[in-house]
Amino acid sequence: MTHADGQPTTSTSTSASASNTATRTGSATTTNTTNTSLDVSALLDRINTDNTLPGTIVDLPIPGAWVYVPRTFSDDRGSFHEWFRGDQFMERLGYPFTIAQANLSRSTRNVIRGIHLADVPPGQAKLVTCVAGSITDVLVDLRTGSPTFGKHVSLPISDAQPLIVHIPLGVGHAFHAVSETAVVNYLVTETYNPDAEWEIHPFDGALGVEWDIDEDTAILSPKDQAAPHLADVTDRLPNYREVRGWEQELQRGWELAMDESDAWAGE
């Protein structure tokens, strides 16, 4: 049994420390030295102000990543919104977002989960939303050859701003629990496979993720705390062209299945 993003339920969160990182890698990495953040401030402003966006998909700067902006209905009872629209997601992807596993994580303030990734193929695409509290959701493009390789996007998500984030194959995922408690739901396209899923340290200076807290304050699982750095896993990183090729195979497979279904229906 696992937490969301493949963290075993038996893991106990512990405070990350610069000294532990230095012992593991030979150098402290608490200081982010590289500016790798992709600006999404204009996009967030548009989401907050453009009344035509609810019910639509908006692209993020990382290729293949996007957010679904749900249409929320509120009254004296509370609110309601759809957070999975298989028809719209299939139209966007070119094949169905097949749900193989649904995960839920509950995190206390200052918890960071990630950066997590799965080998491609088959990879593990994700749809992520925050249903209680608030988080800073982070996507890191780890596909070598991608136009945004090594870059990341940070998005505020909360129960008051219930964005649904699509993390494509080959893109790493992490989040920081900003509220006292944050509940995050994940839908993923492959079941948990410990041999194919791995992690990169969230405070790796080469990635330059600007977290809202420092490493000494962050609460990491032992697995994430002991995670390697980008420079240590270059031979395992997915290739952008190969990932796109795999996604195109999924598209062709779906088109073939639909053609066969139409032919069978016509007999």
The 3-state DSSP class for residue 74 equals strand
Told to judge if 95 belongs to the known catalytic residues of this protein, a careful annotator would answer no
In whole angstroms, what is the distance from residue 129 CA to residue 150 CA?
23
Answer whether 44's CB lies under 8 Å from 156's CB. yes
Query: Does residue 186 have an active-site annotation?
Result: yes
Residues 6 or more apart in contact with residue 162 via CB below 8 angstroms: 70, 72, 81, 83, 129, 130, 131
The conformational region for residue 150 under phi > 0 = left, psi -120 to 50 = alpha, else beta, is left
Catalytic residue among 3, 173, 176, 186: 186
Active-site residue, from 68, 95, 116, 240: 116
Q: How far apart are CA 28 and CA 242, in angstroms?
A: 33
Closest listed residue to residue 171, CA positions, set 108, 113, 237: 237
Contact 78, 155 (CB under 8 A): no
**Positions marked catalytic:** 116, 186
